[in-house]
Structure 1
Amino acid sequence: MFVAQRKNQSKPGVSLLTGPPDSGKTPIFSSLIYRHSLPANTSMQPNSSFLTIPGKKGPVQVVDVPGHPRLQSQFKESLNSAKVIVFIVDANTISRNAAHAAECITGHIVIETQNVLSPSQPPPALPILAYKPDLIKASLISADTTALTINRVQIILEHELERRRQSQLGNIR
């Protein structure tokens, strides 16, 4: 399970599901909460529910934040209590949507987290979840699809984030 909580918490935290539009946030949310995936559609408001994790004291609140840029301000509303921000990307489309995903990470998550949280408040964990790894082209599939997907998504995002960093420094490649 990708949901984690920090030790010595005084209050339970929220796990935010966020990412670019059409990355699979709502199907993942419905799979976690309802145990089956609902048909995908663009969310216009956050979905929120509690998830009971075996071995944990109490339920964890999971919030599915819409990915559309005009609706991402709703991300700020849950940020103060966020312990985990799960950034979801579509493993199939990450190569053509890398710039948008990197913009969401740097321009949305990192900046908003710095603006909203107090300096004494620890930043939330930021795992990246690759959705739809089973749909990667059959010619690319090896014995270990999971490792291939993780490696592919990591390389693409790291390259795009480095390109953005270099661009901001004035060293455009």
Structure 2
Amino acid sequence: MEALRQATGSIEAFLGVGSSTALVLTWLVILLSVYVSLQLFQVFSGNALGRSRRSRGNVTLMLGQCGSGKTATFFRLRDGEEVQTVSSLQLQRDSFPIKAGENPDQQLSSVEVIDFPGHLRMRGKANDMLPEARCIIYLVDSDDKPKLKDVAEHFYELLTNRDMLELHTPILIACNKSDLSTARSEKFIVEEIEREIEQMRVSRGATLEGQDQADSYLGIDGEKFKLMEHSPCTIQTCKISAKKNEIQPVYDFLIEQYSA
């Protein structure tokens, strides 16, 4: 109150007005100051909120190991036909319509899809493209059990990646070559990935001290890792055969992601 009286006295002396008028002017100055402060707070807090709530990109990123069928699936989606492919360090990038059925709600006018090379030395560049992704289709060769270790290592990198932690980019694990009699089931592949990631959690856990654990640790301490439950994003699985043109689950996934 003493400060209020001093402020009122100063205004009264400076403007040569009566005490009542000076008091009213003092309150107007106070209210105006509060209003300006609130507006500034909203502006700066809004900017900070905008920075923290990043939006995902708008491309479909196709990942997976060499030989998993990424490029074959890419051409099936784009051209509807089988194409003989070879391993390459060049990515495929194109926009094309998606037609999952005859109804309009089962069709997309255009989706940009990136088929990224599966070579190990290209993996870092693939991770750099995560901010561009609306969703990820991860191709797995369900007939190649030894490569599941590499798949698990890549998933560990993906699921602890800062962009994935922020953007929660949905992933479809497409278990390709399901037409083969020796193909592993979705359940087997998921459990094998979980087993390999659990081993990595144990071996890497000792190196986490002093690091940003949010970026390094995957899962819940004291619990065995579960891919569907402990991942920072939604993960779905399906079985497909790019060779036999049995890729309907991929169409359905894309419709789901781009219609939301």
Alpha-carbon deviations, 1:75-126, whole Å to 9, x = none?
2453222011111110000x2112111111113x234x41xx397x522111
Looking at structure 2, the residues matched to 91 and 38 of structure 1 have their Cα atoms a distance apart, in angstroms, of: 20
Unpaired segments of 5 or more residues in structure 1?
A: 1-9, 141-147
Unpaired segments of 5 or more residues in structure 2?
A: 1-54, 100-104, 207-260
* SS of equivalent residue, structure 1 residue 86: strand
Q: Which amino acid aligns with 1:110?
A: L
2:131 aligns with 80
Conservation of the 8 A alpha-carbon contact between 1:17 and 1:86: yes
Give the alignment's Cα RMSD to 1 decimal.
2.5
Give 1:105's match in structure 2, choosing from 146, 152, 155. Answer: 155
Further displaced range: 21-30 or 66-75: 66-75
Distance change >3 Å, CA 57–CA 31, structure 1 → 2: closer
Looking at structure 2, the residues matched to 65 and 23 of structure 1 have their Cα atoms a distance apart, in angstroms, of: 12
Alpha-carbon deviations, 1:5-54, whole Å to 9, x = none?
xxxxx897101000122211111111111111211311211101123234
Looking at structure 1, the residues matched to 195 and 143 of structure 2 have their Cα atoms a distance apart, in angstroms, of: 17
Matches within 5 A, 1:3-152: 13-54=58-99, 55=105, 56=107, 58-76=109-127, 78-93=129-144, 95-107=145-157, 109-111=158-160, 113-114=161-162, 117=163, 121-137=166-182, 149-152=185-188
- Structure with more helix by fraction: 2
* SS of equivalent residue, structure 2 residue 65: coil
Distance change >3 Å, CA 12–CA 80, structure 1 → 2: closer
Distance change >3 Å, CA 76–CA 167, structure 1 → 2: closer
1:5 aligns with none
Q: Which amino acid aligns with 2:176?
A: Y
> Taking structure 2 as the reference length, what is the TM-score of the superposition?
0.50
Looking at structure 2, the residues matched to 149 and 58 of structure 1 have their Cα atoms a distance apart, in angstroms, of: 33
Q: Which amino acid aligns with 2:153?
A: E
Q: How many residues align?
A: 146
Q: Which amino acid aligns with 1:90?
A: D
Looking at structure 2, the residues matched to 40 and 59 of structure 1 have their Cα atoms a distance apart, in angstroms, of: 24
* SS of equivalent residue, structure 1 residue 159: helix
1:162 aligns with 198
Conservation of the 8 A alpha-carbon contact between 1:88 and 1:131: yes
Looking at structure 2, the residues matched to 45 and 104 of structure 1 have their Cα atoms a distance apart, in angstroms, of: 19
Q: Which amino acid aligns with 2:74?
A: F
Looking at structure 2, the residues matched to 77 and 58 of structure 1 have their Cα atoms a distance apart, in angstroms, of: 27
Name the structure, 1 or 2, with higher relative contact order (CA <8 Å, separation 6+): 1
> Taking structure 1 as the reference length, what is the TM-score of the superposition?
0.73
* SS of equivalent residue, structure 2 residue 179: helix
Conservation of the 8 A alpha-carbon contact between 1:26 and 1:43: no
Identity of aligned residues (%): 25
